[in-house]
Chain A
Amino acid sequence: MHDLNPTDVSKETDVPVDTRNDATAKAADKAESTAKAEAKAASKARRSKLFADLAPLIGLAVLAIAFVVVGTSSGTNMSYALETLINQSVIIVIIATGAIFIFAMGSFDISLGASTLVAAMVAGLVHNATGSLWLMLGAAVLTAVVTSLISATLAAVFNLPVFVTTVAMLSVLGAVASALVQTTGGAQIRVDRSFAREYDTLTVKLIVAAVFIALCVFLFNYTRLGRVEKLIGGNPITAKLTGVSMKLTAIAAFGIAGLGVGLGAFLTVLRTPTLTVTSASDIGMNILVAMVFGGMVISGGPRSRIYAAIIGGISMALLNQTMAIMLQGMAGGAGIAQMVRAVLFLAVVWLAASGFRTKVLPR
């Protein structure tokens, strides 16, 4: 027997050597093709996720183009339309940006609209009693933060599901709003219209929005609070085992959301100085729609984005304005506009979820 090495074998016995080389080559080819397929799949998944992340931005761009095209072709006063657009979106954007701190944890607050109304009513009453803008602002913020913290504390102390606690708060706040209105002896709380007009300016709104959004972006993206919230939303058990205080984090999140609600309530009083129990009734749900439209994942977690509220809020306002121009004077136009809004909302959410589907249905 020769003590063969592969080189010797190649010289003396061709057949077995070729077979071994073929097998090695085939295995190498197979490994290469598997690696290529995996790389292709990974690349596809990356593209899909990138597209999903960009879907809300694409939606915003398309809606902005549609708004400009429809507005200019119909002879609409675009500067006025733009002002209306900012007026429509700024309150939603502020409240929704604060609410992202709650939603990032996978929690859900349905009482934000009612909380806005109560804070606005208290602010209106304080203004009527003192005539002070700053006290009015302070009352709005304080009421909203306290209201928000009551929900958080109830849920934290008694181990209640946050969502159901906020459902109960919705009823309580509705009752409080009715009681507040009754204190005036009428069906509404009125703030001096000329005073409100003086401060209901784009400058005031944009300053309030810019300061609050900057604070939220800083807290969410550059502090431990934001990271912890995303961790809780992504995996609450891991968060707990890591030593994160779930209760304190929840209270902080609700506090920030309350601050947003307070500022939104302050701007609501300036915008709508006559408050009734139905004022701000659609704000709660529109906040939710705006956040989701902007790419916020309803289950929270690491995919939560603080800018989702800004993109979504502006997108919704653009869509509302475009539809209002297109369906002006048409019978049932508001119904058609709402149906279009629904279809676009579902389409954007579907695209935004395209890179993250699982075998089983999402819950």
Chain B
Amino acid sequence: MGSFMQRTTGTLIIPVGVFAVVWALAAIDGASLFSSGDSLLILARTTAVTMLTTMALAINLNSGRFDFSLGAMALASSTIGAHIAITYGGGFPAMAAITLVAGALLGAFSGFLYTTLRISPLVSSLGVTLLYEGFAFTITGGANISFTQYPELVSFGKSLTAMIAVIIVALFAVYMVFDRSRFGSDYRSLITGQSAAVSAGVKEKGNAIRTYAVSGALMGMVGLIQASSKGLIEAGSINFSTIGIMFTAFLPMFVGGYIGRFSNDKLGYLLGALSMSVIGLGYSALRMTSAEQSLITALLLVAFLIFLSNEERVTRWWRRMKAGKGAAPSEPTSLESVGAGAR
């Protein structure tokens, strides 16, 4: 860690830089990032959903556990919450509470399966994805759940205050759980030295199940936000059609990991999600097609990974250029430090 200035610069350079570039591009095109009344709401909602998904992905991936079932957990928990709230009443509070509890339980069950079967977490998550998608489909008979007749269930996802509150509460909760608790201390010791931590008495199984439960609760919130903002739950999604949401979290996760070097990775996930949301507003302002958006996002991901993977080489090259000595090769920096452990 360097000085306060260095840390502040490292923490803010990406979100501020992204905002400046996107704003300038929009201005050159004669467009505004915040042209409609809903722009701020969209920014906050997209940031909330992306941040929650990124955290849900990262807390397991940091431990080497890849989880394909994030989208399926969001779908199944929101289906359960909405189905019970519509069938038995209780309005939005009931739907929210049931969805969050269901998300946590589905996450815990996923962790229980993984720790009990002791199979690769990636493989386990494939089975869990099939299971939860099939479960949501079975509850509704494959039909979508529409909130057209229940306007009280859609107000949450359309409230700017609610979205900002979600971001603050989730960020604080995840920070407290993973950075300021005994559980978090055990979690980090398992990341840095799995065998040593287990030999020292850390209960790996319980820690993993609770991590999955937190991941499930975060995805429950994602399901709740999406259900109430769209007014619809696509409960008929099967054959792995829910895994797409996970891919939106990769770039913010790497950005968050990078920012985490200067401050805190959880704050990094928020700033990474915020940067992605600003880019999303830029796409809209520049009237880009979904194909163009996918292409640019993918290129940004590759470019950022290339930077991370060759950061040391770039830095040395830059220093030599400044000193007028030309470039020199060096060993690449490991991506492990920013959560890219998968080969």
Contact = CB atoms under 8 A, between A and B. Distances in A.
Interface of A: 105-108, 154, 158-165, 167-172, 174-176, 178-179, 182, 236, 281-282, 284-286, 288-289, 292, 298-299, 331-332, 334-339, 341-343, 345-346, 349-350, 353, 357, 359-363
Given A334-B142, A338-B134, A339-B130, A161 B340 contact: yes
Contacts of B306: 158, 160
Contacts of B205: 361
20 contacts: A163-B342, A167-B247, A167-B250, A168-B305, A171-B295, A179-B291, A285-B243, A289-B126, A334-B238, A336-B134, A338-B239, A339-B134, A339-B135, A345-B126, A345-B127, A349-B119, A361-B121, A361-B194, A361-B204, A362-B120
Interface stretch (B35-43, B48-56, B269-277, B296-304): B296-304
A342 B204 contact: no
B92 interface: no
Nearest to A359: B198
Interface string B210-222: 0000000000000
Interface string B119-158: 1111110111111011111111110000000000000000
Contacts of B305: 158, 160-161, 164-165, 168
B121 to A, nearest CB: 7
A339 B335 CA distance: 36
B313 to A, nearest CB: 9
Contact of B130 (A168, A345, A360): A345
B159 interface: no
Contacts, number: 187
Nearest to B197: A360
Contacts of B120: 298-299, 353, 362-363
Closest 3 CB pairs of A and B: A335-B137, A338-B134, A363-B64
Nearest to B117: A350
A175 B117 contact: no
B17 interface: no
Contact of A338 (B64, B133, B295): B133
Interface residues of B, number: 65
Contact of A292 (B126, B291, B292, B310): B126
B192 interface: no
Contacts of A171: 247, 294-295, 297-298, 301
A172 to B, nearest CB: 5
B340 A346 contact: no
A60 B127 CA distance: 18
A334 B205 CA distance: 33
Contacts of B93: none
Chain B contact residues, majority secondary structure = helix
A285 to B, nearest CB: 4
Contacts of A349: 117, 119, 123-124, 127
B158 to A, nearest CB: 28
Given A335-B137, A361-B205, 6 more contacts: A175-B294, A176-B291, A282-B240, A298-B120, A332-B140, A335-B141
A171 B332 CA distance: 26
A363 B302 contact: no
B204 A335 contact: no
A175 B65 contact: no
B341 A161 contact: yes
B208 A361 contact: yes
Interface in B59-74: 63-65, 68
Nearest to B240: A285
A175 B292 contact: yes
Contact of B194 (A108, A298, A350, A363): A363
A154 B302 contact: yes
Nearest to A163: B342
B3 interface: no
A107 B131 CA distance: 25
Contact of A159 (B117, B124, B133, B309): B309
B140 to A, nearest CB: 8
B343 interface: yes
Given A168-B302, A298-B120, A335 B238 contact: yes
B250 A357 contact: no
A97 B240 CA distance: 21
A154 B310 CA distance: 13
Find the residue from A161, A170, A171, A341 having the highest chain B CB count within 10 A. Answer: A171
Contact of B141 (A172, A174, A331): A331
B241 interface: yes
Contact of B128 (A160, A179, A284, A342): A342
Interface in B88-121: 113-115, 117-121
B298 A172 contact: yes
